[in-house]
A and B are shown apart, each in its own frame.
Chain A
Amino acid sequence: MIKVENLVKKFGEFTAVNSISFDVHQGEIFAFLGPNGAGKTTTIKMLTTLLKPSSGRIEVDGLDPAVKQNEVRQRFGIVFQDPSLDGELTAQENMELHGVLYHVPRKIRMERTEILLKTFELWERRKELVKLFSGGMKRRLEIARGFLHTPKILFLDEPTLGLDPQSRNQLWTQVKQLNQSEGVTVFLTTHYMDEADRVAQRIAVIDHGRIVAQGSSQQLKEQTNTTSLEEAFLALTGTSIRDEKATSADQMRQMAQMWRGNKR
């Protein structure tokens, strides 16, 4: 479903992604793990047409995202690290808007909105403004929205950041369920190793822009002689803390949080 070969992304002198290669198979849940600043989000941006690679090859469902932008965009759904809902609209209106943007015919749009909102337990609240939703509800709505246009691939960039264990648990149960019922390939990143361990069939670990290991959770543990994925991850990426410089995106995030009253 996704094929990446020798992918490189440079920002000036800095190499964010340094010649990585991996495959994601049809229908699987694939976890992409790494410490802060390892290159996860940059890679996702290249897979989802938001950034052009410096060199290397990407195929998403057989298409090059840098060339066939709109075709590729039609094929994936994405849940970003930061929320991307319109808080001044209701849950249903957010779904509606998404459906129109993705050319989903009206009838199918209505049907799928109902099914998905029910799956994610938001149907009863569909007429409420999203700004009044809790963090967990917003996340669920975003994921429901990501599924609306029946994508072949769903990208989840740290979807459970800031959620309580109950919400996280429920969210992954629902994602797994849709992965099976709709055959969607899921590409996720997370900092919670237990989640990756639980839902992902295969895992790639990226650090300093390079893939340092890939395989099933079991294989990674065996390879590092550890008993948990967390230990395996630390063995692969070291224990030093990665302090990133705050980018303007981080500053905005902080400010947005301030404005929202830190509800997330």
Chain B
Amino acid sequence: MSVIYILWLRELKRYFRSRAQIVASLGQPLLYLLALGFGLGPVFRKAGNGSYLQFVAPGVIGMTVLFSSVFSGIGLLWDRQFGFLKETLVAPVPRNRIMLGKALGGATVAVLQGLLVVVACLLVGFRPGSFAAIPSTLLFMALIATVFASLGIAIGSKLENMQGFQLIMNFLVMPIFFLSGALFPLTNLPKAMVLVTGADPMSYGIDGLRGALIGISHFGAPTDILVLCGFGFALVAVGSYFFSKIQL
């Protein structure tokens, strides 16, 4: 336990010490929120779908958690680059505990980052349904964070240098985001899109968040939770496996 705890703590300390990074990582969500929220707002309203800001805010919150958690996992590459990875890999502890400490730490950081964006959303005029939304919002943020921190670690264990990073970004992380329904409703989509969005775990995370925050859900909360938990267990297992296979 203490091993998981100390590695979790390490991630948090690193997060709180990089204030510039905290501020910088707010830039992108704010841009999405403002440019899309207000830019697409009129069209969205004309189509009879109500306020786009209300609609997109849960998507942007989810996006923040997604990016932040994937990056924390891929941050393994950083540990490799700056050598700290070796320190953990020769320690007399099972690798899966190291992986778990790192995943939980990264997930916690991602949730904190998500909460900052929640506040930003409130500031620009987003209004969630009720305060009762808080626990379920946190639950979905935590689930998204765990799923994608583990995915990040699985990827980070396989990448040996920075070149692969762009590839992962453009062909995995961005599609996961854009095909999740974060920016558009999942109703009335072409057949192919239904299949793709249905296979994207992030769709269920965004859907859960939207359900919690503004009461609109496509799949329903039980399905969302079930699917996310399923992906969560699978990816923690895959992440641990790849992590345990790292050779220096």
Contact = CB atoms under 8 A, between A and B. Distances in A.
A69 B89 CA distance: 11
A113 interface: no
Q: For chain B, which range describes its interface: under 10, 10 to 19, 20 to 34, or 35 or more residues? A: 20 to 34
Nearest to B15: A88
A218 B87 CA distance: 36
B200 interface: no
B209 to A, nearest CB: 30
B161 A70 contact: no
Interface residues of A, number: 37
Q: Residue among A45, A49, A78, A100 with the most chain B CB within 10 A?
A: A100
Interface string B219-238: 00000000000000000000
A50 B7 CA distance: 21
B10 interface: yes
B161 A252 contact: yes
Interface string A168-195: 0000000000000000000000000000
Contacts, number: 85
A249 B161 CA distance: 9
B83 A80 contact: yes
Interface in B132-184: 160-162
Given A88-B14, A101-B3, A255-B162, A50 B82 contact: no
A248 B2 CA distance: 33
Contacts of B6: 96-97, 100-101
B92 A50 contact: no
Interface string B52-92: 00000000000000000000000000001111111111111
Contacts of A103: 92-93
Nearest to B87: A84
A88 B18 contact: yes
Interface string A34-77: 00000000000100111100000000000000000111011000
Q: Which 5 A-B pairs have CB atoms at the shortest separation, nearest pair first?
A: A73-B92, A101-B91, A84-B83, A74-B92, A70-B92
17 contacts: A45-B248, A50-B248, A70-B93, A70-B94, A78-B90, A84-B83, A84-B87, A85-B84, A86-B84, A87-B82, A89-B10, A100-B6, A101-B93, A102-B91, A102-B92, A248-B160, A260-B82
Interface of A: 45, 48-51, 69-71, 73-74, 78, 80, 82-89, 93, 96-98, 100-103, 129, 248-249, 251-252, 255-256, 259-260
Given A83-B82, A88-B18, A101-B93, 13 more contacts: A49-B90, A50-B89, A71-B92, A86-B84, A89-B13, A100-B6, A101-B92, A103-B93, A251-B161, A252-B80, A255-B81, A259-B81, A259-B82
